[in-house]
Amino acid sequence: MPNTYTQIHIQFVFAVKYRRALIAAEWKERLHQYITGIFHHNAHKMLQINSMPDHIHILVGFRPSQSISSMIQNVKSESSKWIQRQNLCDSKFAWQEGFGAFSYSKSHVPRVIKYIKNQE
User: Is 95 part of any domain?
Assistant: yes
User: Is 106 part of any domain?
Assistant: yes
Residue 120 confidence (pLDDT): 72
Per-residue H/E/C for 64-99:
CCCCHHHHHHHHHHHHHHHHHHCCCCCCCCCECCCC
Rounded Cα distance between 101 and 42, Å, is 17
User: What mean pLDDT is predicted for residues 55-61?
Assistant: 98
Q: Count of domains in the chain?
A: 1
User: Is 1 part of any domain?
Assistant: no
Residue 1 has pLDDT above 70, yes or no: no
User: What mean pLDDT is predicted for residues 6-27?
Assistant: 97
Residue 101 has pLDDT above 70, yes or no: yes
User: What mean pLDDT is predicted for residues 24-42?
Assistant: 98
Provide the residue range defining the domain that includes 23. Answer: 9-117
User: Is 101 part of any domain?
Assistant: yes
Residue 3 has pLDDT above 90, yes or no: no
User: Is 2 part of any domain?
Assistant: no
Please give the model's pTM, rounded to 2 decimal places: 0.94
Helix (H) or strand (E) holding 41: helix 28-41
User: Is 4 part of any domain?
Assistant: no
- The pLDDT-based confidence of 94 (bands split at 50, 70, 90) is very high
User: Is 3 part of any domain?
Assistant: no
Residue 4 has pLDDT above 90, yes or no: no
CATH, residue 49: 3.30.70.1290
